[in-house]
Structure 1
Amino acid sequence: MFDNLFDQAMSDADDIILDTMGTEISIYPGGTERRIRAVFDAPADNTGMNTGSGEIRDTAPVLFTRSVWAAGLKKYDRVMIHGEPYQVVDPGWDESGTAGQGVITIILARGEPGRNTPAAPERPSKRYGSQRA
C-alpha cells in the first residue's frame, strides 16, 4: 500500500493523532452533509503582528484530516464545527500525492459561505476631499 516503511509509519502516526485529538465535524461538499473526524485548530485571533517586525501573521482556523474523508471539498464549501459555521478558504492537497492515502490541512474562514461582505465606507481623501461622484 505504501512505497516505504517511513510512509507507513507516518500514516500510523496520523491515525493516532486523529483518534486522540480529533473531533467529529460536518462538511458539506456539494451541499451534502458528511460527518468526518478531524483535528481542529482555531487560534483566538485571526491576525497579529510579529513582535518587533512589520510582518503580519495569519492565524486562520485549520482542519487536519485524511484526504479521502474530505474528498470533494472545495473552496467556499460549508463546514460546521461544534455548532459554529466556517467556510473553506483552501481545501489543501493530499500529502501522499494522487493515491489518496495521505492527510490534508484545510484552511478555513469563520462564518457562513456566500454571505456578502458589506461595502467599505467611503472616506474623504486628505488630499482631494470626498471621493464620491
Structure 2
Amino acid sequence: MVSLEKARSRDRDRLLIVVDGEEAEVPVPGLLPGEEFKACSFAQLDSALIERLDPSVVVSLLVLDKTDAVEIAARLHSIGYRGRYRILMGGVPDRSLIRAELAAVAPGLTIELLDLGPEAG
C-alpha cells in the first residue's frame, strides 16, 4: 500500500490518468500537486499512446463507470507497459484480493494501491 505522503514525496512523475471518456474530468485534481499529467480514456489506451507519452506512472480509480482497474491492468500488460500502475480507491476492505487479481492479469506491472479513505469509496 502506498501512502498519500509517500506518493506526494516522490520525484516528479509523468502521470497518465485513465478516465471514463474523452471528455471526463480527472478524478482527483490536486491530489498530487506539481505532477505533470495527461488524461486518456480506456479506448485511447494503446501502445502508441504509451510510447508517445512515456508515462512513469499510469493512474486510475479502482472502478470507473465503463471499466475497472483489472481491465486497465490487462490492457496495459497486453500493450507491453511494464511500469507503475497506481490505483486510487477508498473504503476497500480486502486489498490483498485486489492485488492478487491484478497480479494475475498483469504480471510485470508494479501495482500501487493508494487509499483515499472511506469517504472516497
Normalized against structure 2, the TM-score is what?
0.26
Structure number with greater CO (CA < 8 Å, separation at least 6) is: 2
Q: Which has the larger strand fraction?
A: 1
Q: Which has the larger helix fraction?
A: 2
Q: Rg: which structure is higher?
A: 1
